[in-house]
Chains A and B, each alone.
Chain A
Amino acid sequence: MQNTLNTLFAKSVSQFALHIAIEDLSGNKMTYAQLHTKSVKLSDLLNSKKIGAGCRIGILSSKNTDYVACVFSILNLNAAYVPMDINAPEVRIKTMMDDCDMQGLFVETSMIRNYSFLSENTRHYTTEKISDVMSLVVFTKVSVLHKELLAYILYTSGSTGIPKGVMHTHESALAFINWSIKKFKPTTSDTFVSHAPFHFDLSIFDLYVSIGIGATLVLIDDKTASNPLELAHQLTLHRINYLYATPSTLVYLSNFGKLHKHSYETLRVVLFAGEVFPVEQLKLLKAQLPHTVFYNLYGPTETNVCTYYKVPKRIANTQLQPYPIGKPCTFADTYINEEGELWVSGKSLMTGYWNDCSKTEQAMCKDEKGVVWYKTGDLVSVTSDNNLVYTGRKDRMIKRNGFRIELGEIESVVSKNVTILQIAATSSSLNGQTDNLITIHVTPATGRVVTELELYQYCRKNLPPYMIPDRIQFYDKLPVTSTNKIDYKKLSLVHD
Chain B
Amino acid sequence: MRVLATYNIKGGVGKTSAAVNLAFLSAREGSRTLLWDLDPQGAASYLFRVRPRVRGGVKALVRGRTSADRAIKGTDFDNLDLLPSDFSYRNMDLALDAAKRSTRRISELLRPLASEYDTVFLDCPPSVSLVSEGVLRAADTLLVPVVPATLSVRTLDQLTAFVAAARPPRPRILAFFSMVDSRRRLHRDTVAQLSTERSDVAAAAVPAASAVEQMGPRRLPLVAFAPHSAAALAYQQLWAEVKELATR
Do the two chains bind? Answer: no
State the A residues within 8 Å of B (CB). Answer: none
